[in-house]
Amino acid sequence: MNISFDLIEDKVEFFEAESLKTLEKKVDEQIQHNKAIMLSVHSVNHGVAIDENGRRLYSAVVHFKVKK
């Protein structure tokens, strides 16, 4: 049996929440998980959208890269 392990070098994850606090918690939890596979945050983009009822939806895109 031949087992091969490939190192994840790049990973992009998308998050959304109805409050900034919840969004921050989700992103922070995933940062901690990705540290275990030796990925660190390379960049973060975030935004907010307002629907027709005035509710806000916060979103973030986090790009993780392998630590060098």
15-40 pLDDT, tens digit each: 999 999 999 999 999 999 999 989 99
Per-residue pLDDT tens digits for 41-58: 999 999 999 999 999 999
Q: Residue ranges per domain, the chain?
A: 10-66
Residue 7: per-residue pLDDT: 81
pTM for the structure as a whole? 0.83
Furthest CA-CA distance within the chain: 58
Using CA atoms, how far residue 64 sits from 7, 10, 11, 45, in Å, is 13, 6, 5, 12
Residue written as token pair 């606090």: 21
Residue 1: per-residue pLDDT: 72
Residue 8: per-residue pLDDT: 85
